[in-house]
Amino acid sequence: MILSNDTKSKIGEYAKKYPKVKSAILPALHYAYEEQGYLDDSMYEEIAQVLGVKFIEVAEAASFYTMFPKQKRGKYYIQVCRNISCALLGSHHLTQYLLQKLGTKLGETTKDHLFTVVEVECLGSCCSAPMMQVNDKYYENLTLAKVDQLIDEWRAAK
Amino acid sequence: MQKHVLFENINDPKLHNIDRAIELGAYKAWEKVLKSIKREELVQMVKDSGLRGRGGAGFPTGLKWSFVPVASPKPKYLCCNADESEPGTCKDRVLMECDPHSVIEGVMIAAFAIDCHTSFFYVRGEYDLSMRRIEKAIDEAYKKGYLGKNILGTGYDLEMILHRGGGAYICGEETALLSSLEGEKGLSRIKPPFPAVSGLYACPTVVNNVETLANLPRIVINGGQWYASMGTEKSKGTRIFSVSGHVKKPGNYELELGTPLRTLIYDYAGGILDDKKLKCVIPGGSSVPVLMPDQLDTPLDFESVQAAGSMLGSGAVIVMNEDTCMVWVAEILAHFYMHESCGKCTPCRQGTGWLYEIIHRIEHGQGRAQDLDTLLDLAKNIEGNTICALGDAAATPVISTIKQFRNEYEYHIEHKKCLVKSDFRLR
Ligand SMILES: Cc1cc2nc3c(=O)[nH]c(=O)nc-3n(C[C@H](O)[C@H](O)[C@H](O)COP(=O)(O)O)c2cc1C
């Protein structure tokens, strides 16, 4: 048993809202991911049991989306928007700057498990570019000074 | 001209709380609909308003509703499309974060128009604050009795279910959205049957965009004629334009349809960043052809932008200055479509990857003489040959940038480097 009873009952409750239970797979994946920070086959299995659907149905849905990774990521999961509006205002430079500053490579997690930097597609923050999403939160209108300050804060907070 | 219909109260920091929203007029339209408007009258009112979908295709909203077989014994479903992910577009997010009650009131009104009693709110997974604001708004609306059973004692029942996406552009396409909502992979489906006839759980379904829906409370209060008095002959009302890229004041501007592109860029968005020269503009999200500087007087309405060779799409205006390499732009967009193709149709699944590979090699000095012909051939073989419009969307930037900036592609292939190098830095 990996998922907590609390999460399982949340999944069960949310599923009741839908005319068909299969619709609750996506909300279930979100609940599980929120609790665990990643998903794996045994969690798919538990979700399938709670909902009364097949394992493969959960696995299939999970594999389609970008928000349900199968590995744990750094405490600060930094997603830099690489798409056009941000790129026009320096997002590619932003990525390089972050990687250099944190001494890491794209997609890899720093040894202290603090940071993972990735590039993602448009996050709908085009009028406040360049931007990055860190875990759930948007950081917009970024400048070098702002990025420095954020990294310092996160390092200090550990 | 700037005209605040949707943005009337947008700067009120408490607008997302139901009490403040009600003080400013929220749910008056919903009450009016429930108590004094017949379903057919509502549909007619929205037809009279001339409101057209703000999700991209610009389909007349009242007409779309009228395709739903209301007499059918099956349940009818209304889905709000809040999956906003067309590059450059960030207008629905503002509405959800700042004025969520107008948006969900719009969902209620649209649901009533098709005799729907279970509605869905499909919000983009990454939009955390939007999701929380909408979740809170729905909770508050239930508590005040605007949702649930026997609403305001009228006997009308309506549920609203928040459904959070998982990160996939394709799920903004209405049939893929329905697949996703059913717990399947977000794959698009062949039309016909159209969702109005057979959509969610094979029942009659309408999918409407956030901005489209947010207009409804205003139309109900002020009337269809009032809405139709704004805009142009065929493009009525206002639109929120997200202006991004090389402008001094990027932002979301609500303007009457038909306002010239020049007015938007120079009067509202402050002109080109650092007073550089304008190179080109994408007027309706990354999936539409570019407009050139000599087309700045194009009025921003569906017909005029189409006559100028592009599309109004999602209303996202992306501005590029003279330092922008167009092969670099095409590479970024090709990467996006490759990443977002759902993989169902072969031309799109394979073609988007090939487009990217070829543009990538041209941009990185490995281009070959025949590459431009291959690109155009590929793009034309994707266009029109896929179930949904993602394939067309991937082909368009390639065709458009080659048409307008062929010299830059040729320079890359010949000299193995950029004619102008995009070297944009953080400040
Ligand atoms: C690839 C693709 C992505 C789309 N993404 C969105 C989106 O994020 N939001 C949206 O409202 N419409 C999107 N659409 C358009 C929808 O299919 C649909 O036309 C729209 O939601 C209908 O609402 P409307 O009539 O109110 O505009 C997309 C279409 C395609 C082909």
- Give A66's contacts in chain B (Cβ within 8 Å): 166-168
The neighbour count for residue B403, using CB atoms within 10 Å, is 12
Which DSSP symbol is given to B272? B
Residues B212 and B288 in one domain: no
Q: Is the distance from CB of B61 to CB of B140 less than 8 angstroms?
A: no
The neighbour count for residue B353, using CB atoms within 10 Å, is 16
The dihedrals phi and psi of A74, each to the nearest 5 degrees, come to -60, 165
Residues B258 and B146 in one domain: no
pLDDT at B156: 98
- Give B330's contacts in chain A (Cβ within 8 Å): none
What distance in Å separates the CA atoms of residue B345 and residue B352, rounded to the nearest whole number? Answer: 11
Which DSSP symbol is given to A44? H
Structure tokens at B64: 């779309």
Run of H or E including B240:
strand B238-245
Pocket of ligand 1, beta carbon within 6 A: B 53-57, 59, 64, 81, 83-86, 170, 172-174, 207-209, 212, 388-390, 393
Residues B129 and B214 in one domain: yes
**Most B CBs within 10 Å, among A64, A70, A119, to test the B interface:** A64
pLDDT of A30 > 90? The answer is yes
Span B28-57, pLDDT tens digits: 999 999 999 999 999 999 999 999 999 999
Which CATH number fits the domain that encloses residue B142? Answer: 3.40.50.11540
What pLDDT tens digit does each residue of chain B (427 aa) get? 788 999 999 999 999 999 999 999 999 999 999 999 999 999 999 999 999 999 999 999 999 999 999 999 999 999 999 999 999 999 999 999 999 999 999 999 999 999 999 999 999 999 999 999 999 999 999 999 999 999 999 999 999 999 999 999 999 999 999 999 999 999 999 999 999 999 999 999 999 999 999 999 999 999 999 999 999 999 999 999 999 999 999 999 999 999 999 999 999 999 999 999 999 999 999 999 999 999 999 999 999 999 999 999 999 999 999 999 999 999 999 999 999 999 999 999 999 999 999 999 999 999 999 999 999 999 999 999 999 999 999 999 999 999 999 999 999 999 999 999 899 999 8
Residues B194 and B158 in one domain: yes
**Binary contact (A61, B118; C-beta < 8 A):** no
Run of H or E including B238:
strand B238-245
**Cα B253 to the center of its chain, rounded Å:** 15
**Binary contact (A84, B90; C-beta < 8 A):** no
Domains in chain A and their CATH numbers?
5-64 (1.10.10), 76-157 (3.40.30.10)
Closest atom of ligand 1 relative to the B81 alpha carbon? 11
Structure tokens at B83: 């999956």
Residues B91 and B146 in one domain: yes
pLDDT at B1: 72
Closest atom of ligand 1 relative to the B85 alpha carbon? 8
Residues B73 and B212 in one domain: yes
Which of B321, B348, B366 corresponds to the end of one domain?
B321
What distance in Å separates the CA atoms of residue B360 and residue B83, rounded to the nearest whole number? Answer: 28
**Binary contact (B185, A85; C-beta < 8 A):** no
Interval between CA B335 and ligand 1 midpoint (Å): 20
How many domains are there within chain B? Answer: 3
Tell me the nearest-neighbour CA distance from A126 into chain B, angstroms: 5
pLDDT at A158: 72
Pick B90's closest partner by Cβ from A27, A88, A126: A126
Residues B100 and B198 in one domain: yes
What mean pLDDT is reported for chain A?
97
Which CATH number fits the domain that encloses residue B389? Answer: 1.20.1440.230
What distance in Å separates the CA atoms of residue B139 and residue B212, rounded to the nearest whole number? Answer: 22
Chain A, 14 to 73: residues with Cβ < 8 Å from chain B are: 17-20, 22-27, 29-30, 53, 57, 60-68
- Structural domain contains residue B425: no
Interval between CA B7 and ligand 1 midpoint (Å): 22
Residues B87 and B201 in one domain: yes
Interval between CA B239 and ligand 1 midpoint (Å): 15
Interval between CA A110 and ligand 1 midpoint (Å): 38
Residues B158 and B187 in one domain: yes
- Structural domain contains residue B7: no
- Structural domain contains residue B10: no
Run of H or E including B62:
helix B61-66
- Whether the upstream peptide bond of residue B193 has omega within 30° of 0, thus cis, is yes
The range of the structural domain enclosing residue B274 comes to 238-321
Average pLDDT rounded to a whole number, residues A70-96: 97
Residues B311 and B331 in one domain: no
Q: Is the distance from CB of A33 to CB of A39 less than 8 angstroms?
A: yes
- Structural domain contains residue B134: yes
Residues B156 and B65 in one domain: yes
Beta strands in chain A (DSSP E): 76-81, 115-120, 132-134, 137-139
Interval between CA B82 and ligand 1 midpoint (Å): 9
SS3 state of residue B159 = strand
Cα three-residue angle A38-A42-A44, rounded to 5 degrees: 70
- Structural domain contains residue B48: yes
Helices (DSSP H) in B287-425: which residue ranges? 302-307, 326-340, 346-363, 371-382, 390-415
Which of B296, B321, B346 corresponds to the end of one domain?
B321
What distance in Å separates the CA atoms of residue B324 and residue B270, rounded to the nearest whole number? Answer: 19
Residues B177 and B32 in one domain: yes
pLDDT at B427: 87
pLDDT at B38: 97
- Structural domain contains residue B215: yes
pLDDT at B296: 98
Which CATH number fits the domain that encloses residue B300? Answer: 3.10.20.600
Pick B90's closest partner by Cβ from A24, A62, A125: A125
pLDDT at B3: 87
Average pLDDT rounded to a whole number, residues A51-76: 96
- Structural domain contains residue B13: no
- Structural domain contains residue B332: yes
Which of B321, B354, B383 corresponds to the end of one domain?
B321
**Cα B239 to the center of its chain, rounded Å:** 11
